[in-house]
Structures are given as structure tokens and as C-alpha cells.
Structure 1
Amino acid sequence: MALTPPAWRHTLTEVPRGAAGVLRLAGKWRAMATGPRGRGEPVMVLPGLFNSDRSNVALRRHLTRMGYRVEGWGLGRNLGQRAIGQDGERLFARIDAMAERYGAPISLVGISLGGLMARIAAHRMPGHVAQVVTISSPFAGPPDATRVWRAYQALSGARIDDPEVRALVGEAGRPLSVPTTAIWSASDGLVGGAICRGEDCAAVEVRSSHVWVQFNPDVLRAVAVALAT
């Protein structure tokens, strides 16, 4: 079966649905401070395309109050392969330094493109990564099965048919040797749910847009539960 981009009815309603998720989080923030808790395990959160650590501040704060030692990736805006291809050593060095600082493998939580990067890092640094949690990350299919591939090309400076890009996508899609959870949505308007989960994952479905998915309270709960499992 051919993998295709999401239905336009979902794509055209991305922003209002994303805004509704943010409003839901504001109303449920205090009540969400319950459930499975961590015991100080280190967690790094990787942002989505063209986003920085500021984009996932709510997720990091939630995981911190749930008992984890949480850090952002600290590499500015996510410009795609520049962080895992040409400048890949920067990301891997950050992971290595964090694991050494805490004396334990770290969990990687990646949003959209950040999830592909998290999976690639887990492949290359298995002794440094405890587990991977991806959020709306299209690692199980081709880039042109999304509605963001043109934006990726414009922002990253790379073409999706470049051999390096195809190799990185293929690497991200290979089964991992560490536990992994894939959080996905059938109503995602930018990447189809079918390419956001794989056979190696514990797949968790939520109802969410792609835009501001990291502010959706159901997603925040799902990440905390996955890390505690």
C-alpha cells in the first residue's frame, strides 16, 4: 500500500486544533501532576524542525516535576541533517556529556524530526541511550509521504532525494535495540500516523494535531508513562 500525506481536512485545521490543545493544557496543568513518576533518570528532549528548546518548555517542565532530570538538546534551532549529518558530532557529544555527567544512559524524547534524530543517536550510541520516545515522528516512511518535505528542503538546504538524506531516514527507520515508544495521531495533518510507528515500538495513539503537539496534555501524559515503564 502506498504511503501518502494526511487528508487535507486534517491539514487545513492544524492551527486551530493545535491551539485548542494548548488551551486544554492550561486548564489541566495542575491536575496532571499525578501518575507514574521517575526517580531522577536523565532525559534529553529534541525539538522538531526549525524549533529550539523553547518550543518544548512545557514538556520539559512537566517531566521535571514528574521526577526526571531533564535537559534540552542545547543546539539552537533544529535544521535537520546539519545536526546529525554534517555537524552530527555536536549532538552525539551532547548525549555523551550528559550520560557521563549523570553516570547513566539517558532517555531521548524527540518531537517530529527530533524523533528521527533520537532514533539515529540510539543506533549509533546504544550504550549511552536508555530508551527512545518519539512524538509524531515520521521515521517509518519516505519524506514525501508528509506535508512538510518542501519546508524541510527550504530550511535544511538539503533535498529529500539526496543519498545522505535517504540514508539517514533509512537509519532512523531500522529497529532499535533499546526500548522505544512511538506516540502518534491518526488526525495528524502534517505527517501520516502510519509512518510514525513501527514494529519495534510500543505505539500509543493520541488525538492531536501536529502543530504544538508537544503542548497536548494527552501527549505529555503519554511521555511520562512511557518513561516510567
Structure 2
Amino acid sequence: MSQVYDFHDHGAEASASGGPHRGLLLLELPRWTMEYGAGRLVDLLPGERELGAGRPVLVLPGFAADDRLTGRLRGHLARRGWAVHGWGLGRNHGLTEQIVTGLPRRFAELAERYDEPVSVVGWSFGGLLARWLAHERPDRVRQVVCLGSPWRAEGERTRATGMFERSRAKHGIVADAREIVERLRGPVPVPLTAVWSRSDGIVPWRGCTVDERDGSDGHPPAENVEVVSSHVGMVASPLVLSVVVDRLRQDPAAWQPFGWSRIGRALVAGTAS
């Protein structure tokens, strides 16, 4: 059973059911409002402006979202020195022909322009697409950061599964959509960070966590970082913004595991500067 598309055709009623508690879903909008405001306040504080050193980052929106909804995250990263880009493909309608052909083209354009590996940050379904890009071009992806991305096929349904089915009927999906989903579920061949929240009101958090690796076995590291955030607020919450900055500044060849203590020291240093 898929967390995104109902490939087994359980029907519209089954597709619309399940997911986090309805109370968390109802709190998504008011929580996002507070998280967005808090995220804007963070950018009023002093910060290290050259952290990103001009390295490229591609940010992918969640399902039914577009580049406007990732603007807070992209602006935060740009202020800290990354060369940040939206995907430029309009609204994310899932595995449509436009996205399956347009996203690799957009990624290749950025990789060629900067002539170095590109970090990919994906929110919700955008994180699944980020995983797919890493499988397709592991030599050109620096690292992947997923924000509330339900990639596991565990039988738990999300609050958005019905939306995926309606979108499939309206916009269609590519013939090999199921193969793409199965491919992106494999171990990601680049450093991977999964950011997730127990209070996510859209997707079940267990489906967003990854099997952790520390990189000592020769395989790229993979780690989980838990935050307190709504699902929609993943691209605006100060906590999530701090995690993304900390992960993007890592050197894949000298990877350091995530630690909240380092975030605290960085915040204190930034306030004092």
C-alpha cells in the first residue's frame, strides 16, 4: 500500500481515510501562521552571511504547493550565503509528465551552471522527488534534506492520499510512476537527513523517518532529526530553518552528526556578533 498513490486501487474512500489525528490537522493553519511569523523574526537577527559560500541548493515544494510556499526557507538560506533556487515548475501535481521530465532538466541546468554537486531540499512530496534525483544523479547531488517526507510503504495513510488520487484523475501520472516510487524508496546514495515532527497534522511521522547510518561502513550517512513543527510550517519554522542550515554547511567528506547543542552555540554566537 502506497503512502502517496493508491497503486493497489483500494478505492477513493480508503484513499481519503487515515493519517494523523484530525485535531492536528485542524491546527495546521494556526500553527503555520505562528511559525511563519517566527521565521521572519529570525531573519532580523544577525547571522553568518557567508555560510553557504555560494554553493547551489535546489528547493522542491510539497504536493499541491509551488515555489511561493517555499519562499521563507529559500530566503533564509540565501541570506546565509547559499545560491538558492526554486524548481520553476509551477504547482506540484505529483508524478506528471511535466514534472518527471522537467525536474531532471532543471537539476541538470543548475549542476552545469555551477559545475559542482547541488544540495536538494525537499518538503513533503518534494522530499520524495529529492530522493529520486539522488538515485538518478548521485554524482551530481551533494546531499538531500527531506522535510516531513513520507517515503515508506507501511500501509499508514496520509491526510493527502485522497488528493493524490484526485490529482491523478485530473493531471495524470507517467506510466512508470510505480517504478519511480519503488526506486526512490531504496537507500539514498548520498548523505541524507530526514526532518520529522510527531505533531505533523498531514502525514504520519513514522513514515518520514529513515534507517540511520553513520557512514562508518562506507555508505553515505543517513540521519533523523525530530523537530516540533506543523507539516506546512516545515518550510518556515525557526527550528527547521536551523536544522537545514546546519546540515547544508556539512562537508560530505567530513560529515558531522546533527546535534542541537551545536545549533545553540551558533545562535548564541550569531546574537553576540
Q: Does 1:107 align with 2:122?
A: no
SS at match of 1:5: coil
Q: CA distance change for structure 1 residues 87 and 18 in 2, over 3 Å: closer, same or farther?
A: closer
Q: Distance in 2 between matches of 1:116 and 1:74?
A: 17
Q: Distance in 2 between matches of 1:32 and 1:13?
A: 31
Q: Distance in 1 between matches of 2:148 and 2:101?
A: 25
Match of 1:146 in 2: 158
CA apart distance, 1:29 = 2.4
Q: CA distance change for structure 1 residues 192 and 149 in 2, over 3 Å: closer, same or farther?
A: same
Partner letter of residue 46 of structure 1?
Answer: L
Q: Does 1:179 align with 2:191?
A: yes
SS at match of 1:134: strand
Q: Does 1:203 align with 2:224?
A: yes
TM-score using structure 2 length = 0.75
CA apart distance, 1:165 = 4.1
Q: CA distance change for structure 1 residues 8 and 73 in 2, over 3 Å: closer, same or farther?
A: same
Match of 2:234 among 198, 204, 213: 213
Q: Which runs of 5+ in 1 are unaligned?
A: none
Q: Distance in 2 between matches of 1:215 and 1:207?
A: 12
Does 86-95 or 178-187 show the bigger shift? 86-95
Match of 1:8 in 2: 22
Partner letter of residue 223 of structure 2?
Answer: A
Q: CA distance change for structure 1 residues 79 and 125 in 2, over 3 Å: closer, same or farther?
A: same
Mapping of residues 79-118 of structure 1, within 5 Å: 79-82=93-96, 87-118=99-130
Match of 1:137 in 2: 149
Matched residues, percent identical? 38
Match of 1:59 in 2: 73
CA apart distance, 1:172 = 2.0
Contact 2:40/2:72 (8 A) holds in 1: no
Does 87-96 or 56-65 show the bigger shift? 87-96
Contact 1:63/1:224 (8 A) holds in 2: yes
Partner letter of residue 196 of structure 1?
Answer: C
Q: Distance in 2 between matches of 1:118 and 1:170?
A: 14
SS at match of 2:59: strand
TM-score using structure 1 length = 0.88
CA apart distance, 1:36 = 8.7
SS at match of 2:45: helix
Match of 1:227 in 2: 248
SS at match of 1:109: strand
Which is higher, the Rg of structure 1 or of structure 2?
Answer: 2
Partner letter of residue 36 of structure 2?
Answer: V
Q: Distance in 1 between matches of 2:134 and 2:204?
A: 23
Match of 1:193 among 201, 205, 217: 205
Q: CA distance change for structure 1 residues 156 and 221 in 2, over 3 Å: closer, same or farther?
A: farther
Q: CA distance change for structure 1 residues 143 and 58 in 2, over 3 Å: closer, same or farther?
A: farther
Q: Which runs of 5+ in 2 are unaligned?
A: 4-17, 213-221, 251-273
Match of 2:258 in 1: none
Q: Deviations over 1:2-23 (max 9, x none)?
A: x962122312211111112112
SS at match of 2:139: coil
Q: CA RMSD in A?
A: 2.4
